[in-house]
Structure 1
């Protein structure tokens, strides 16, 4: 089981490095992964789920603000700041580029460009989801094996 866990860890780290090289993720993502060592073993899984939910909620709120006939760019900027915090702290660098487009659109007070940036952010999340699903599948298996190994170790004592 330890060998299987090590193989899964190698696959997981390889995937993360590949996504970093593609510009989908940055080093903060791996930093978040390593934080699980100081927290509960499910910390990282919960973080990924929370990230997806928070981005989805923030995008919904941004979309609602952009539907108003007279767009309040102060409100749109508040949604931008919220998204920026979520995306940057998670390490989703590809979505960060779309955030910059949103900021420029806000500064230009262009509703049309804000809507396009909003759609790109949605697409960015949808492009990232399959990778996050694969990462969480690997992580669930790793957690299972780690718990099983810990249980086997405790039985030997």
Structure 2
């Protein structure tokens, strides 16, 4: 079990060093009540699904003949809020930049900004899958340890 804890800690540090996440990310993890708690295992997929859905909507909207900048901004704001709350600071920054391009009402610039947000999410999601795998292993080991008592 210690191996998985060290791996998870190292992954968190790496993500922080890369600027993908900030202290809020660690705080979200600390909300777990105990080792066998599934909170974090549930929060990662939920966060990823919400961001994916938002990006899918924004991509579809970008393909519309006439852009609804107001609606796009609402979705960007929503995804940015989730990202900030989760501690995904680099993604949140890319979304802030996207907000600015929406204000400028340039379809070409919005398209570039959306692509940047997608790249940031992809990089984050890759690391989150590693965290999820390690966390599942930790929880499983904790449950096995309790069963052997």
Q: Give the TM-score taking structure 1 as reference length.
A: 0.88
Report how far residue 24 of structure 1 moved: 0.8
Partner of 1:152: 148
Partner of 2:31: 35
Per mean C-alpha deviation after superposition, the further-off stretch among 33-42 and 111-120 is: 33-42
Counterparts of residues 7-156 of structure 1 (less than 5 Å)? 7-37=3-33, 41-153=37-149
Gap runs ≥5 in structure 2 = none
Q: For residues 148 and 105 of structure 2, what CA distance do their matches in structure 1 show?
A: 61
Q: For residues 129 and 68 of structure 1, what CA distance do their matches in structure 2 show?
A: 27
**How many residues are paired up?**
149
Q: For residues 118 and 40 of structure 1, what CA distance do their matches in structure 2 show?
A: 38
Q: Give the TM-score taking structure 2 as reference length.
A: 0.92
Instruction: Name the structure, 1 or 2, with higher relative contact order (CA <8 Å, separation 6+).
Output: 2
Deviation above 3 Å: which 4+ runs of structure 1? none
Report how far residue 126 of structure 1 moved: 1.3
Kindly report the root-mean-square deviation, in angstroms, between the aligned alpha carbons of the 2 structures.
1.6
Whether the aligned pair in 1 keeps the contact of 2:36 and 2:143 (CA below 8 Å) is no
Higher percent of residues as helix: 1
Gap runs ≥5 in structure 1 = none
